[in-house]
Structure 1
Amino acid sequence: MDLLSDHLVRARATGAVFARTVAEPPWGLRLGGSIQLSVHTVVRGRGYLWLDTPGSTVELIPGSVTLVRGGENHYIGHEPGAACLEPEEFRARHAHMGPADNPRATVFLCGAYRFSGDVGAGLLDALPQFMTLSSADDDPLREVITMLSRELVRTEPAQQLVLDRLLDLLLVLAIRSEFRRSATAPRWYRAAADPRLGVGLQAMHENVAHPWTVPELAELSGLSRAAFARVFREALGQAPMQYLTEFRMTLARDNLRAGDLSLAQIADTVGYSSPFAFAAAFRRHHGEPPGTWRQRERMTASTRLLTTHPGS
């Protein structure tokens, strides 16, 4: 498994179609900044997307996809600055229109993604606030958009399942395209393409519990110990063992939040010989034992849930 696949799997990205809409002017939809990642594509017609930030308007046209990272509210409408409704009110107002009812109508899809833990947060942080991708004729992204377009203009059995899978493909292709062209792509993504580092990095990610050493990683990479350590630090900004420890701690935090594994199981999963060795390493890294950290995270999550849903 390559490093991008590894991060996406560990981030446990889950997607859902929350708006498949035909809307005739005037129309507008407000989407909250709590949505971690939104995906928008127009099948027919056109629309506009903008943030609260001045000068952030982009046009949505067939054949393009726009991704919006959470943090700021964003808006979609028939024209920039259009009056926008909340999702429930918007869906109710436009629920009964079919694609053929009005040739002036816009047909579009909005998808929402959630990411789990610190691995997911790292992926999101590497993306710009929003990005629009227009596919070239030979780009697989174009094929996925075409399939989405065809699926959205008719009602078929198992359609929700098809749309979910196409959105998954769309997300992966969009992130891959953005990282490939971006000067601010994560260091691990760029380093994975370096033949001097790719094998060693992949080995660490595939078997994080292995007691890796720099000489062992250097041998896998076909370099001397000193050369591997130097190239690694230049590419990733830290020593190989520091990178491995950071990655182990990231996975440990995600496992602690999930609550599915005991401390002994987490220790074994992330490469420590015993719960005591893991607890000592975690305390050095975070200033408190893993059990205390997990309790605090659970209390924070409960408080956040009560604040968001006070009646629950």
Structure 2
Amino acid sequence: MDLLSDHLIRARATGAVFARTVAEPPWGLRLGPSIHLSLHTVVRGRGYLWFDRPADAVELVPGDVTLVRGGPIHHIGHEPGAECLEPAEFRARHGRAGPEDSPRATVFLCGAYQFSGDVGSGVLEALPPVTTLSSTIDDPVREVITLLSRELLRTEPAQQIMLDRLLDLLLVLAIRSDLRDSAAAPRWYRASSDPRLGAALQAVHENPAHPWTVPELAAISGLSRAAFARVFREALGQAPMQYLTEWRMTLARDHLRGDDLTLTQVADAVGYGSPFAFAAAFRRHHGDPPGTWRQRERAAAQARLLTTHADS
């Protein structure tokens, strides 16, 4: 498994389709900051996407896929600065399919992703605030958009599974394209394609619980210990064992937040021989023992959930 696949799987991204919408002007949709990653594509017509300043709006054209990283509120509408409704009100007004053959109508799809934990945050932080992926006639992006649009025209058994998988494909195509072409791609992504480091990084990610040593990772890479340590530090900005520890701590935080594993099970999963060794390492990194950290994080998550329900 390559590193991008590993990050996406561990991020436990879940997809949901807002709708396939046919809307005649005026129309506008306001999307809040709780969505970690939004996906927008216009099947026919035109739309515009903007944050605070309509003057900086990005045009949405057929065949393109635009990803918006969560955080600020963003809007899409028939023109920059259009009046934008909350999702529930928008669906009530535009939920029924409109006159799709109208020359004024825009047909567009909106999807949303939620990511879990620090691995998911790492994927999102690797993306710019807005990413636009343009397709060509023979591009797989265009084919996926066509399939997604057709699937939303009817109700079929297991439809949500189909929609999730098609959104997954669009997400992977967009993220892969952005990271491949971006000079700001995360170091782990760039290093994963380095023939001197790729195999060692893959081994660490596939089996973080293994008691890795620098000589063992160097042997996987076909380098001497000194050469491997030097190349690794140059590429990733830290020593191999420091990278391993940081990755183990990232996985541990996600286990503590989202799983019902005992501390002994978490320790085993991330490569510590006993819960005492794990607790000592975790406390050095976070200032609190893992049990205390888990209770605080879960209490904060519950408070956020109650606030969200109160506001909805």
TM-score, with structure 1 as normaliser: 0.96
What is the Cα deviation at residue 310 of structure 1? 3.2
> C-alpha separation between the residues in 1 aligned to 2:309 and 2:155?
35
Q: Secondary structure at the match of 1:285?
A: helix
What is the Cα deviation at residue 306 of structure 1? 2.3
What does 1:125-204 correspond to in 2, within 5 Å? Answer: 125-152=125-152, 154-158=153-157, 159-204=159-204
What does 1:75-94 correspond to in 2, within 5 Å? Answer: 75-94=75-94
> C-alpha separation between the residues in 2 aligned to 1:99 and 1:166?
25
What is the Cα deviation at residue 99 of structure 1? 5.0
Q: Secondary structure at the match of 1:104?
A: coil
What is the Cα deviation at residue 123 of structure 1? 0.6
> C-alpha separation between the residues in 2 aligned to 1:132 and 1:94?
25
What is the Cα deviation at residue 103 of structure 1? 3.1
> C-alpha separation between the residues in 2 aligned to 1:170 and 1:20?
15
What is the Cα deviation at residue 155 of structure 1? 1.4
What is the Cα deviation at residue 309 of structure 1? 2.1
What does 1:17-166 correspond to in 2, within 5 Å? Answer: 17-53=17-53, 55-98=55-98, 100=100, 102-152=102-152, 154-158=153-157, 159-166=159-166
**Is the CA contact (8 Å cut-off) linking 2:23 and 2:106 kept in structure 1?**
yes
Q: Percent identity?
A: 78
> C-alpha separation between the residues in 2 aligned to 1:142 and 1:185?
25
What is the Cα deviation at residue 303 of structure 1? 1.9
Corresponding residue of 1:237: 237
What is the Cα deviation at residue 246 of structure 1? 0.1
Structure 2: which amino acid aligns with 1:13? Answer: A
> C-alpha separation between the residues in 1 aligned to 2:69 and 2:134?
18
Structure 1: which amino acid aligns with 2:156? Answer: P
Q: Secondary structure at the match of 2:132?
A: strand
What is the Cα deviation at residue 104 of structure 1? 1.6
**Is the CA contact (8 Å cut-off) linking 1:44 and 1:108 kept in structure 2?**
yes
1:306 aligns with 2:306: yes
Aligned-residue RMSD, C-alpha: 1.6
Gaps (5+ residues) in structure 2? none
What is the Cα deviation at residue 253 of structure 1? 0.3
Alpha-carbon spacing, 1:109–1:265, altered in 2? closer, same or farther (3 Å): same
Q: Deviations over 1:204-252 (max 9, x none)?
A: 0001000000000000000000000000000000000000000000000
Q: Deviations over 1:4-58 (max 9, x none)?
A: 0000000000000012211111111111121100000011111111111465311
**Is the CA contact (8 Å cut-off) linking 2:22 and 2:108 kept in structure 1?**
yes
**Is the CA contact (8 Å cut-off) linking 1:99 and 1:107 kept in structure 2?**
no
What does 1:260-279 correspond to in 2, within 5 Å? Answer: 260-279=260-279
> C-alpha separation between the residues in 1 aligned to 2:199 and 2:147?
35
**Is the CA contact (8 Å cut-off) linking 2:29 and 2:75 kept in structure 1?**
yes
Corresponding residue of 2:14: 14
Corresponding residue of 2:209: 209
Q: Secondary structure at the match of 1:212?
A: coil
Q: Deviations over 1:243-275 (max 9, x none)?
A: 000000000000000132000000000000000
Alpha-carbon spacing, 1:18–1:286, altered in 2? closer, same or farther (3 Å): same
**Is the CA contact (8 Å cut-off) linking 1:214 and 1:229 kept in structure 2?**
yes
Q: Deviations over 1:89-119 (max 9, x none)?
A: 1111112234536332111110000000000
> C-alpha separation between the residues in 2 aligned to 1:99 and 1:162?
26
> C-alpha separation between the residues in 2 aligned to 1:37 and 1:151?
22
Alpha-carbon spacing, 1:185–1:311, altered in 2? closer, same or farther (3 Å): closer
Gaps (5+ residues) in structure 1? none
Moved more, 301-310 or 168-177: 301-310
> C-alpha separation between the residues in 1 aligned to 2:79 and 2:88?
20
Q: Secondary structure at the match of 1:310?
A: helix
Alpha-carbon spacing, 1:53–1:230, altered in 2? closer, same or farther (3 Å): farther
Moved more, 177-186 or 297-306: 297-306
Alpha-carbon spacing, 1:99–1:206, altered in 2? closer, same or farther (3 Å): farther
Moved more, 101-110 or 248-257: 101-110
Corresponding residue of 2:250: 250
